[in-house]
Amino acid sequence: MSSVISLRDLQDMVRAGQDVKKLPADALITPSARDFLHELEMNGGAKTSGAAKPATAGADKFSAPAKKLTSKSPQPELEAFFNSPYAHNLKEQLCDIGRRLWGREYVDGNGGNIAIRVGEDIAICTPTLVSKGFMKPEDMCLVDFDGNQLAGSKKRTSEILMHLQIMKKQPKAVATCHCHPPYSTGFAVAGVLPPTCMIPEFEVFASVAIAPYRTPGSPEMGQLVAELVDKHNTILMANHGVVSWSHNSVEDAYFKMEILEAYCRTIMVTAQLGVPAKTMTAPQLQDLLKIKQSLGIPDPRHGLKECELCDNDEWRPGVSCQVPEKAEAVIGLDADAEAAVKAITDQILSQMK
Ligand SMILES: [Zn+2]
């Protein structure tokens, strides 16, 4: 069984002074690890410590405060944190992701909302009644995990409860993103999960489930979504839209949307071509799931047997679970056939007498 090499593995090897070129020949290299190797090669392989720099560049000014705040921290401390360069940087990230959501037509009107966890039970989130394409850092809000607003002049989004319930249920969730991308939402309206075993990016980065419809912003909606986030990072909300969470960053939560929306759009094109879709094999999917697991991304299929991976209905046209039939079932005769053979044999024997 081949091993999976992630970006973190390579960075650990560089820190330990090991040669990253001596990887097992059959190792599976994750896309970000491959980029890292390429970058090392471009730098002549010498700048080992410098190669890891882009991830941490500028970390001093924007690094998280040493003291972790909670909803119980004194108000002046919460205000100071909310107005710090660190928080400002996060607010700018929210504005940037909002512009991308709007630019790609994943949001309409004032729809969509985004949140970043900034402490044990506090988060910075987008405001209500502002288009995601035109938000400013000063529009952002600080809330506790019950949805009470702690700082910010604009009122927080009405759908924040869902984001907070995800963060409460899934401790790894550092950011959440909700929007209404048309192709994915089409699947959510039809109540159909996108098929699997077709495109690697979707298999590696997204784990999709469908939550039933409830009024947007209601605690029940948040509850139904939260029940799915231990094994799924991208939830189709029936008759509404999509919400995703990331264990890395708000940009990564947004990437789930791009990946899911591109996938659903591609599936719609495939379905119109008039030929059955070709799918990857179960062993090929198993390789992708190994990469997914090494990246810390949940999936209910981790640990399943290969033959269970691409089990299909009409919207899952992958390979079926091909368990060999029992030998006697193939060569044996059923009771009716045996009775018929016996009757014919008896008849022939009686005629020979
Ligand atoms: Zn919505």
Query: Within 10 A of 231 (CB to CB), how many other CB atoms are there?
Result: 13
Tens digits of residue pLDDT in 84-137: 999 999 999 999 999 999 999 999 999 999 999 999 999 999 999 999 999 999
Distance from residue 46's CA to the centre of ligand 1 (Å)? 49
Compute CA distances 90 → 126, 239, 250, whole Å.
11, 31, 9
Helix axes 75-82, 85-103, angle to 10 degrees: 60
pTM assigned to the model: 0.75
Distance from residue 239's CA to the centre of ligand 1 (Å)? 10
- 159 catalytic? Reply is yes
Tens digits of residue pLDDT in 15-63: 677 777 777 777 777 777 777 777 777 665 443 333 333 334 444 567 7
Residue 236 pairs in a beta bridge with 210, 242
Distance from residue 349's CA to the centre of ligand 1 (Å)? 80
Tens digits of residue pLDDT in 171-218: 999 999 999 999 999 999 999 999 999 999 999 999 999 999 999 999
Name residue 249's amino acid.
Answer: S
Of the residues 39, 138, 159, 251, only one is catalytic, namely 159
Distance from residue 240's CA to the centre of ligand 1 (Å)? 6
Cβ-contact 242, 184 below 8 angstroms: yes
Distance from residue 179's CA to the centre of ligand 1 (Å)? 6
Distance from residue 274's CA to the centre of ligand 1 (Å)? 34
Question: Token pair for residue 285?
Answer: 């999917």
In the chain, the percentage of residues whose pLDDT exceeds 90 is: 62
Distance CA 306, CA 231 (A): 19
Identify the pLDDT of residue 341: 63
